[in-house]
Amino acid sequence: MKNRISWRVATVSSARWETASARTLVLDVPDWPGHLPGQHIDVRLTAEDGYSAQRSYSIASAWPGSLEITVQRLADGEVSPYLTDEVQPGDQIELRGPVGGWFVWRSSSPAPVLLIAGGSGVVPLMSMIRARGDARGRQPFRLIYSVRTPEDAAYADELRRRVRDDPGLDVHFVYTRKAPEGAGTPKRIDVAAINSHGWPPDFQPDCYVCGPTGFVETAADILVALGHDPKRIRTERFGGA
C-alpha cells in the first residue's frame, strides 16, 4: 500500500530547448523515490497571492538518472508558457509523483515494443527508449513519431545517435506538414505507415500510443484493425485545454 503522494519542492537544475516550443527541465528533488518510464508528475505553481494551478506532465527521463520533464508550450496555456519561457535554473516548483501504473514499460518485459507518438506525445515514450538503453535491453523497439515538420521533432539528435548505435531500435518519422528531402509527401499517420514500420500482430508487441486525442484514436483504431490485441494497446491522450 502506497502512502500519500506528497508534494515535494523541486529545484530546476538546468533547462534546454528541444524544439522552438518544447523545453526540458531537469529537476532536482533530494528525496525523489524514482519512477518507471511512462509515469507522470503533477506540477503545482503558486502565485504570490496564493493563487495556484496544477498540471500533469509526463516524465521524459529514465531512472536511475535524472528527473526531467519536457513541456510543450501551449499558446493559450496557463502553466506551460511559464515552464517554457519563464522558469530559470535555481527556481523552485512543487511537484508530486510519480503517478500512473498503466502506461508504463517495465524492462523485465521481454515483448517487442511498438511506440507511436504524435507531437509531444513522444515524451513518455522517450523515457521508455532511454530506460531500455540504460538497461541494455534486448527487446526490439520501434518508434513511429508523427511531427508536423522536421523542426518539430524533439530529441532528434539523440534518437539518431541511439538508432546508429543500437540495432534493436528503429525510428520512423511521419511528417504531416513539411517533409525533408527524400522523405516523400507529407501525410498523416495511416495504415501503411503502421503496417510497414510497426510489428506484425503475431509478434505480440506491447503497443504504447501517446498524442492528441484524434491522433491516438486513429492510431489505436488502425492497430486494432491490423489485428493487434486491444489488451496490448495502451493509450495516453491529451488535448482539449
CB of 98 to other proteins, least distance (A): 9
Q: Sort residue 167 into left (φ over 0), alpha (ψ -120 to 50) or beta.
A: alpha
Q: Give 153-202 as a 3 state SS string.
A: CCCHHHHHHHHHHCCCEEEEEEECCCCCCCCCCCCCCCHHHHHHHCCCHH
Contact range with other proteins by CB under 8 A, out of 140-148, 186-194, 196-204, 221-229: 221-229
CB-nearer residue toward other proteins: 24 or 235? 235
Question: 36: number of CA atoms within 13 Å, CB side?
Answer: 13
**Closest to 213 (Cα-Cα) out of 180, 238, 185, 182:** 238
CB of 201 to other proteins, least distance (A): 13
- Using CB under 8 A as the binding rule, whether residue 234 contacts other proteins is answered as yes
CB of 111 to other proteins, least distance (A): 16
- Using CB under 8 A as the binding rule, whether residue 101 contacts other proteins is answered as yes
Distance between the two ends of the chain, CA-based, in angstroms? 33
CB of 79 to other proteins, least distance (A): 8
- Using CB under 8 A as the binding rule, whether residue 138 contacts other proteins is answered as no
Give dist(CA 71, CA 154) in Å, integer: 11
Q: Look up residue 139 and give its three cell numbers.
A: 527487446
CB of 217 to other proteins, least distance (A): 6
Report the residue from 28, 158, 166, 217 that binds other proteins according to the rule CB under 8 A: 217
- Using CB under 8 A as the binding rule, whether residue 30 contacts other proteins is answered as no
CB-nearer residue toward other proteins: 137 or 211? 211
Report the residue from 15, 67, 93, 144 that binds other proteins according to the rule CB under 8 A: 93
Question: Which residues does residue 164 pair with via DSSP β-bridges, in sequence order?
Answer: none
Site map 51..70 versus other proteins, x via CB under 8 A? xxxxxx--------------
Question: 43: number of CA atoms within 13 Å, CB side?
Answer: 25
- Using CB under 8 A as the binding rule, whether residue 111 contacts other proteins is answered as no
CB-nearer residue toward other proteins: 171 or 220? 220
Instruction: Name the helix (H) or strand (E) containing 206.
Output: strand 206-212
Question: Which residues does residue 146 pair with via DSSP β-bridges, in sequence order?
Answer: 118, 174
CB-nearer residue toward other proteins: 2 or 136? 2
Q: How many helices (H) and strands (E) does the chain have?
A: 5, 11
Contacts to other proteins by CB under 8 A: 1-5, 7, 9, 42, 44-48, 50-56, 78, 82, 86-87, 91-94, 99-103, 213, 217, 220-221, 223-224, 230-231, 233-235, 237-241
